[in-house]
Structure 1
């Protein structure tokens, strides 16, 4: 799962047009998107989820809400299709505690590229508190 930007630098009248970053980092008109691609055990790829959203749209609450809703929908659809093992691979920026709690609650395995590596975490059962970058070496690996 990854976010991306749909850039519309010359548009001015599109509905709820927002601001995103150009490839060189300058603000331009456009929309954020959220995309999820699935990979089957035999190597087939498929688009699981795609949405375009705007922080300027009525009723918009947060990008995090968009992500959490997407994860719930994807998990529900995959389980309904009989998929037994689901592993989410999430890019940096998805290292949010609400998101991690959701993944744990719905019993989904995950790998997240950490953006905030100095954020503190408490290891169990020892209760030692370390930055994520230091705690990674103490984490257990589960099958």
Structure 2
């Protein structure tokens, strides 16, 4: 169960299918939030993910250079499959995403759109709120920024 990071065109059909399947399972089904999960930006992103021995995606985030999603670098669609939560995968996922952005992509500022209930979690990595709480798809969100 190694971590992988791939550009869109490097993903196999099965990897892409399993990533999208798990994103829909969490963001649309689990959170009971019908919205267009496929937003036309996957082809611009790096895809950081971990699979279990059966090839199921158990943790995932997509990562963007600055200027592709926000003026700043960004990551989003952060998920951990329900059966694997509370095992530290979310923390490891964020550490890897931030390290990749700072180390490999040489980005110094990262902006994210966080669900408000995760504000403290993201804050533990140094992210600070830069907006008031607002509704996105009827879920409270806050914009947050991390500057190296």
Fold agreement, TM-score > 0.5 = no
Structure showing greater radius of gyration is 1
**Relative contact order: is structure 1 or structure 2 higher (C-alpha 8 Å, sep ≥ 6)?**
2
More helix by share: 2
Q: TM-score, normalised by structure 1?
A: 0.38
Q: TM-score, normalised by structure 2?
A: 0.37
